[in-house]
Amino acid sequence: MHDSLILGFFLRIAAIYQQSGIKHLIDRIFDPLKKKWNDSFLYHLLFLKKASDQECRLLSSFVHIINRIIRWLSKKLQAFFGLFSNSAITYGTRSTVNYLANLFHKSFFGKLFYRYMELKIPEGYSSVNKKAVLYTIGAWFLVSLLGAVLLPLKYAVLLSGGIVFAALVFVYPVFGVFTVVVGSAFLPTMALVGMILLTIVSFVARLIKQPKKPLKIDLLGIAIGVFFVVIVISSLFSYERTESLKVAAVVLVFMAFYVVLYNLIENKRQLKALISLFLLTGLGIALIGIYQNFAGTSAGNVWIDQDMFSDIQGRVYSTFDNPNVFGEYLLLLIPLSFAWFVHMKKPLAKSITLMNTLFLCLCMIFTYSRGCWLGLIFAVVLFTAFYNKHYFVLFGIVGVVAVMFLPDSIINRFTSIGNLEDSSSLYRLFIYLGSIGLLKHFWFSGIGPGTPAFNRIYPYYSYSTILAPHSHNLYLQTFIEYGLAGIVSFLAICCVFFQRAFHTVKEYGENKEKIIVVAMIAGMTGYLIQSVFDYTFYNYRMILIFYTYLCFSSLYRKFLLIEKEQTNAESI
């Protein structure tokens, strides 16, 4: 009865409006506009109605004008970058690089470096003008000196280094790629962002200057691009839009690095050199971790439940500020370093890569990260199953001997997995319960990326009043931040990676370099298993390393395919 009265009231109001002068006034205003819209050219185009010949000619002229503008801009940009390529700065930079490269190749360290990478030393560079080298170094010295006088020492050093880096990247874009990959483990996040942006600008300039070298992108790159779009949309509709856009900007730059890396590494020689430097950097990072284990860290026992693990004096984190993040980095490097050891032929390269693998494994133990230990076990099993089942015996013997000699602190830590008496395990369980409660209400749209958005919504769903900066689970956090589209697109990236990597192993099973791809599969598997127990993208640098690792796999697949096509062509 009550509902019918309300309905009757609104129907009466509608009837009065239909007969009122207001309605007639609105119709008189909007009817001509509606008629104009229905007869317009744009309406015909949008709703697929047949346009007149005059309208078609108008459209053709419009497209022609746009095309002329684009071609004019393209020519102007090509002329600008061509002018820069022929400038004194470029010439001086090239001459200086060639001069220094010649000195390095002739030095003891240069010969040792190329022996480690098992690559031939390039022949001497030709275009070396010593006067241009002198002028270039002198100009850089004067600018650096001026910066030291006018600026604080810190900013003067940044200015000096920035000038060198920018000049090298604009002349040699691939230099930016090498620097970012090597520095990804220890440089500050915003420094890496700036370096990647400079490399992207240089890469785009090369595309404009050399239109015959088009942009290349593979299926994995397309999957990453879809996730890229989802992140942008999610950030725009975030509950903390400003902060989420800041987070997304960093993440998107690191994702874009995949495309730059895929296009600028043009042959297997460059790729092998890049991976060798990536692993050599890992050796330095591992040495820092080993030093921390014996000298102690400023963090002390902050990540240890002292009631259960009083015999653990501390956990190492090297340059990553957190032992779990360091363990995630090691998960990607250890299988690849071991594969590099097996793949190398010369004694020097084998000894360095073996030492690197052992130091990385020691650091993995010293992190006391149980999730990373589990991930490494799965990675070893998968690597052995797909590459050489005889390694099961070797790794089994190593495992038994290790258990016999490992200290009780490590054994107790490993056997405590799943023990809810450990405050860390109970803490994670409560966070999972709260995060699942949050996800029930935001599963479709997500809440937006970044800790500020999570901190705004999560407290309403926190279990047992326990707060956290994230859900301690990569998949759960991705679902929460980006919604259904986000988790589906991220899982699509993982599926495309494994599908293409397994196809490469199957297709090129006779190739000796198959072990490299198998190691990448194993490393990524271990990383994704650890992601069940932690939000492995919390540290921005791990996002960059993750997409770099994906690109290593794609590049190896690309170059193996090129080699196969060349072999087939020669056999014909």
**pLDDT at residue 525, as a whole number:** 96
Is pLDDT at 378 greater than 90 in this prediction? Answer: yes
**Average pLDDT in the 73-81 region?**
56
Q: What is the per-residue DSSP string for 184-204?
A: TTTS-HHHHHHHHHHHHHHHH
Is pLDDT at 23 greater than 80 in this prediction? Answer: no
**pLDDT at residue 114, as a whole number:** 77
In one-letter notation, the amino acid at residue 483 is G
Nearest to 362 by CA among 417, 292, 281: 292
User: How far, rounded to the nearest angstrom, does the alpha carbon of residue 123 sit from its chain's CA centroid?
Assistant: 34
Round to whole Å and give the CA distance between 93 and 168: 7
Could you tell me the two tokens for 203? Answer: 């890469």
Residue pair 521/501 in contact (Cβ under 8 Å)? The answer is yes
User: What digits encode the pLDDT tens for the residues 383-404?
Assistant: 988 877 777 777 777 777 776 7
**pLDDT at residue 485, as a whole number:** 95
**pLDDT at residue 489, as a whole number:** 96
Q: 570: burial class by Cβ within 10 Å (0-12, 13-18, 19+)? A: exposed
Nearest to 323 by CA among 365, 284, 281, 355: 365
**pLDDT at residue 1, as a whole number:** 44
Helices 514-530 and 370-387 sit at what angle, rounded to 10 degrees? 150
Nearest to 558 by CA among 272, 266, 336: 266
How large is the greatest C-alpha to C-alpha distance in the chain, in angstroms?
A: 99
Which of 48-52, 323-327, 525-529 shows the lowest per-residue confidence on average (mean pLDDT)?
Answer: 48-52
Calculate Rg over the CA atoms of the chain.
Answer: 30
Distinct helix (H) and strand (E) counts, the chain: 23, 0
Could you tell me the two tokens for 163? Answer: 């000038």
**pLDDT at residue 49, as a whole number:** 47
40 versus 557: the higher-pLDDT residue is 557
Nearest to 164 by CA among 95, 93, 103, 100: 93
In one-letter notation, the amino acid at residue 45 is L
Could you tell me the two tokens for 440? Answer: 């029930």
Highest mean pLDDT among 23-37, 114-128, 348-362: 348-362
CA atoms within 13 A on the CB side of 456: 16
Q: Name residues whose C-beta falls within 8 Å of residue 299's C-beta, 6 or more positions apart in sequence.
A: 314, 315, 317
**Average pLDDT in the 545-568 region?**
89
Round to whole Å and give the CA distance between 500 and 487: 20
Round to whole Å and give the CA distance between 133 and 103: 13
CA atoms within 13 A on the CB side of 328: 30
Round to whole Å and give the CA distance between 254 and 246: 13
Q: 520: burial class by Cβ within 10 Å (0-12, 13-18, 19+)? A: buried
Which of 345-359, 399-413, 536-550 shows the lowest per-residue confidence on average (mean pLDDT)?
Answer: 399-413
Reading phi first (left if > 0) and then psi (alpha if -120 to 50, else beta), residue 284 is in alpha
Could you tell me the two tokens for 263? Answer: 């296009």
Which of 151-165, 184-198, 278-292, 406-420 shows the lowest per-residue confidence on average (mean pLDDT)?
Answer: 406-420
User: What digits encode the pLDDT tens for the residues 449-479?
Assistant: 999 999 999 999 988 778 888 999 999 999 9
Mean pLDDT over all residues of the chain? 82
- Res. 310 pLDDT band, cuts 50 70 90: low
**Average pLDDT in the 36-52 region?**
54
CA atoms within 13 A on the CB side of 66: 6
Which of 17-21, 92-96, 520-524, 549-553 shows the lowest per-residue confidence on average (mean pLDDT)?
Answer: 17-21
Q: Name residues whose C-beta falls within 8 Å of residue 290's C-beta, 6 or more positions apart in sequence.
A: 316, 359, 362, 363, 366
**pLDDT at residue 2, as a whole number:** 44
Is pLDDT at 7 greater than 70 in this prediction? Answer: no
Which of 54-58, 323-327, 442-446 shows the lowest per-residue confidence on average (mean pLDDT)?
Answer: 54-58
CB atoms within 10 A of CB 346: 11
User: What digits encode the pLDDT tens for the residues 295-309?
Assistant: 888 776 666 766 666
State whether the Cα torsion 212-218-221-225 is positive or negative.
Answer: positive
User: What digits encode the pLDDT tens for the residues 500-512?
Assistant: 999 988 887 666 7
Give percent above pLDDT 90 in the chain. 45
- Res. 3 pLDDT band, cuts 50 70 90: very low
User: What digits encode the pLDDT tens for the residues 162-205?
Assistant: 888 888 888 889 999 999 999 999 999 999 999 999 999 989 88
Nearest to 231 by CA among 254, 252, 215, 201: 252
